[in-house]
Chain A
Amino acid sequence: MNPFRLTLLLVFLFSISNLTGQALADELVVYSARNEHLIKPLFDAYTHETGIKITYITDKEGPLLQRLKSEGRNTRADLLITVDAGNLWHAANEGVLQKIESPQLAANIPANLRDPDNRWFGLSLRARTLVYSTERVKPEQLSSYAALGEPKWRGRLLLRTSKKVYNQSLVAMLIAEYGEAQTEQIITTWVDNLAAPPFASDTKLMQAILAGQGDVGIVNTYYFGRLLKENPDLKLALYWPNQDSTGVHVNISGAGVTKYAKNPRGAVKFLEWLSSEKAQNLFADANMEYPVNPGVEAHAYVKSWGSFKASEMNLARAGELQSDAIKLMDRAGYR
């Protein structure tokens, strides 16, 4: 056989050997931008408890959303799980999620952590807060996000890139709080205070503080938790800003039922289970986050970082103001 035909035959055989099976009746299909190792334990637990099989595919938010839009009413997905309120808001805005009436979800999840129109629901909470060097900074010197622009932090502030959605949401919330002009001024002073160009990750930022490149920064709580777990003598601590005013900026990972779900009732049931007491710890603890359900305690390790007053602004605002926030950061020269 000549090499071309042989190859084509091999390609063909390999291809058909992998044709996928199609959905079963009570199966749930999930599109997830939350990482596999954080959600799979929950899927396994749910399957173990109810016998319902969960099929899933992971990808970034952008492609998953486009996938849902392109597939339209023929999509197999019942549920979209993703990270960051801005992304959830946008998915709802694009019309790929449906409204859900569920008293149980309403009871389990505080109103500011879900869509006012009930198209998406927060499932775990993370705070984006200040981190400082315990060697060079006293906590009394810190107060609010805005105060990081004060001249005393010149050459001492470290930030992660403005391209990360967590910072976009944070600035969106600042806009909601202070208005655009004042926020732009705050961001400009931040940029003036930078000790180094913005970092690509929160972890790198904290390592730079440890090495003495800067003294204070803004990070998500679980990144701090991870670093602390590796090194319990970490010379870093978290600070909860805006305690006298609006509270710490929080964000969520969450989910919504797709508009063309084949198994919408099953999807709602699963969401309700995820917000329930027994699943909340499994969901949040996997990534050192806080449960959204006020009746559920955070993991003892997470609680050891201290308690704080969280912002109560509805997270939908973060989505609405996201592109304003990006434009503002671009104008202020925050890369």
Chain B
Amino acid sequence: MFSFSLDRTAASLRGCRRFLLHPSGWQHLTLAVALLVLAPLTVLLLSWTEPAWGIWQHLRETLLSQLLINTFILVVGVTTGTLLLGVSLAWLTGACEFPGRTHFSWLLLLPLAMPTYVLAFVFLGLFDYSGPIQIPLRAWFGRDLWIPDIRSASGVVLVMSLALYPYVYLLTRNAFSTQGKRALEAAQSLGCSPTAGFFRVVLPMARPWIAGGATLVLMEALADFGAVSIFNFDTFTTAIYKAWFGFFSLAAAGQLSTLLVSMVFLLIVLEQKLRKRMRFSQSRVTAQAERIILNSAKKWLATSYCSGVLLIAFFLPALQLLRWSLKVFDLEFDNRYGMLLGRSLSLGLTAALFITVVATLLAYAGRRHPDRLTLSLIRISTLGYALPGTVLAVGIFMPLAALDNFLIDFARENFNFALPQLMQGTIIIMLLAYLIRFMAAGYKSIDSAMHRVTSNIDEASRLMGLRGLKLLVKVHLPMLRGGIFTALTLVFVDVMKEMPITLMTRPFGWDTLAVKIYELTSEGEWERAALPALTLLLCGLLPIVLLMRGTEGK
């Protein structure tokens, strides 16, 4: 339950001083990761050395107000939409009993594997004026029939909410399933109905998870360019790309991006400030709460709600992809698909392991040293998720190229030796770049899970001589199991879907499924892109099924 600690500020200040004077290994690690993320952010900050006032002024005079309104609608709409969907579904499958619950529990994760841009394209194809739904409707009811336009603010919000709700669902379900029944029983003994208990006890206790999922969604929505450009819905990212690709001013794009990152940073700080004094650990590990058995009408309502979401967010688009794939199969399929698949899988898997390990270490570092400095460094480490992909890719590439140039020139001038480019186009660089991008996805999953481990456990373990890495591996790791599987899945799926960083940092000729999708869609060959998209979708299902085994089978 909530407990309040005294003198946290003073303790935090002492912690900061200790960090500066005698940093521990954990703090070195947080510093290293934060510096890594700061490198591309610094590149963006440096863009302010040549302020592009002309472009700023043009944007202010023409587009900016509309862009800000649109961005606001998008972020608020998608965050609300994913929270409603994610939390309600997590509550139903995590705490209630109704027909098909065990299957829905994992089926509802499937949309995670569906890239937002793919869902956006499929939805537009199906529901637009020229799509197979509207044409017959007009044929039956006449041309003047009013049908809501999918190419609108609400259309984008709907599509992105459907694509992104699994982030909230996945994390929140973890919270509900690790929450014992004691809290709810206590609430009920104080006269709360199950529903009131849900809102007054269960939901607040799950807050770090819900907030973690919502933060991921918010960052995704802010950074998204694929889905919004398919809908031609102009947001702040549109301005960034317009500055770069239209006005050819990377400086202006960088400046606009710094604004975006600062906004996200403020939101993260604010959210953490608001729940700073709260504790979310279980007083004792207790049995899973008994499920609320839904009665006749309610249970079928729950079943149809889950099936409805699943149908719209997954099966309908997947079917459409399959239809297109069959149509283009002969044209598009060749023997390179095996290789593309292999690379996507191995890259996703390696990156998932790597990022999850670093995220676990960071989360533990934050637990051991909850001083302001360490926590700020950790927050910085997660900012890469909020940047538009292409901008971040360039931010990562520029310092790398500079380092390579330095090494090559140094070798040539001092040793008359022609050094090849060492940094660019190696997998290790790709992995580091993914770390910068997807740290948030790994960290949020594990950090929220760590909130369930009481500090008593740490103290008891230390008394028994378990410290540092040993404590983490022997005591925390088994308790973090759910969080770790979540992190692995999120990162794996995210990496496989990622385009701009993969495009920019991959070795020559080293293509993946996402690269293939980019190649085809950039010239509008969306139907041909269905084949790699469907393959990607199937790959993404793999870890989701494993995840379910991992978390359910304990």
Interface residues of chain A, those whose CB is within 8 Å of chain B, are: 2-4, 7-8, 10-11, 14-20, 22, 29, 35-38, 55-63, 66-67, 70-72, 74, 76, 90, 94, 161, 163, 165, 168, 196-204, 207-208, 210-213, 223, 287, 322-323, 326-327, 330-331, 335
Contact = CB atoms under 8 A, between A and B. Distances in A.
A70 B509 contact: no
B248 A200 contact: no
A322 B247 CA distance: 8
B508 A211 contact: no
A18 B428 CA distance: 9
B401 A70 contact: yes
Contact of B130 (A90, A161, A200, A208): A208
Nearest to A89: B248
By CB atoms of chain A within 10 A, which of B230, B242, B397, B524 has the most? B524
B223 to A, nearest CB: 16
Given A15-B428, A197-B232, A56 B421 contact: no
Q: How large is the interface on B (under 10, 10 to 19, 20 to 34, 35 or more residues)?
A: 35 or more
A90 B246 CA distance: 10
Contacts of A72: 401, 405
Contacts of B428: 11, 15-16
Contact of B507 (A20, A38, A62, A331): A20
A63 B393 contact: yes
A207 B248 contact: no
B129 interface: yes
B426 interface: yes
B276 to A, nearest CB: 30
Contacts of A16: 428
Contacts of B404: 71, 74
A326 B508 contact: no
A60 B519 CA distance: 9
B390 A4 contact: no
B507 A18 contact: yes
A10 B151 CA distance: 45
B48 interface: no
20 contacts: A4-B357, A4-B469, A11-B350, A11-B353, A14-B427, A15-B426, A15-B431, A18-B510, A56-B509, A72-B401, A74-B409, A94-B248, A165-B246, A200-B229, A201-B524, A207-B130, A213-B130, A287-B523, A323-B246, A326-B247
Contact of B477 (A3, A17, A90, A207): A3
B386 interface: no
A31 B508 CA distance: 10
A297 to B, nearest CB: 24
B405 A74 contact: yes
B353 A10 contact: yes
By CB atoms of chain B within 10 A, which of A17, A76, A202, A327 has the most? A327
A8 B130 contact: no
A18 to B, nearest CB: 4
A38 B477 CA distance: 50
Given A15-B428, A19-B426, A63-B504, A322 B522 contact: no
Contacts of B398: 66, 70
- The 3 residue pairs across chains A and B that have the minimum distance between CB atoms: A211-B130, A70-B401, A207-B130
A67 B246 contact: no
B245 interface: yes
A221 B63 CA distance: 31
B51 interface: no
B509 A63 contact: no
A10 B62 contact: no
B106 interface: no
B426 A163 contact: no
Contact of B232 (A57, A199, A322): A199
A59 B421 contact: no
Nearest to B420: A22
Main secondary structure of the interface of A (DSSP, over half): helix
Contact of A35 (B229, B401, B469, B519): B519
A335 B426 contact: no
B234 interface: yes
Nearest to A59: B503
A335 B356 CA distance: 41
B357 A66 contact: no
A163 B238 contact: yes
A229 B215 CA distance: 46
Nearest to B473: A2
Given A3-B357, A18-B426, A20-B426, 15 more contacts: A4-B361, A10-B353, A58-B519, A63-B394, A71-B405, A71-B421, A197-B232, A201-B526, A202-B524, A208-B128, A208-B130, A223-B524, A322-B248, A327-B62, A330-B63
Contacts of B357: 3-4, 7-8
Contacts of A202: 524
B225 to A, nearest CB: 11
Nearest to A72: B405
B425 interface: yes
Contacts of B503: 58-60, 63
Nearest to A201: B524
A36 B238 CA distance: 26
Interface in B220-275: 229-232, 234, 238, 241-242, 244-248, 250
A323 B247 CA distance: 5
Given A35-B519, A36-B519, A74-B404, A66 B129 contact: no
By CB atoms of chain B within 10 A, which of A74, A199, A326 has the most? A74
Given A67-B401, A204-B130, A163 B246 contact: yes
Contacts of A56: 508-509
A66 B250 contact: yes
A211 B129 contact: yes
B424 to A, nearest CB: 8
B187 interface: no
Contacts of A211: 129-130, 134-135
A158 B519 CA distance: 26
B310 interface: no
A333 to B, nearest CB: 8
Contacts of B247: 323, 326
Contact of B402 (A18, A70, A208): A70
A213 B129 contact: yes
B243 to A, nearest CB: 10
By CB atoms of chain B within 10 A, which of A61, A168, A204 has the most? A204
B506 interface: yes
Interface string B522-537: 1110100000000000
Contacts of A55: 508-509
Contacts of A58: 503, 515, 519
B19 interface: no
Contacts of B520: 35, 37
A8 B390 CA distance: 28
Contact of B473 (A4, A22, A63): A4
Given A19-B426, A60-B390, A14 B246 contact: no
B127 interface: no
A20 B124 contact: no
Contacts of B128: 204, 208
A61 B393 CA distance: 13
B354 interface: yes
B500 interface: yes
A163 B242 contact: yes
Nearest to A163: B242
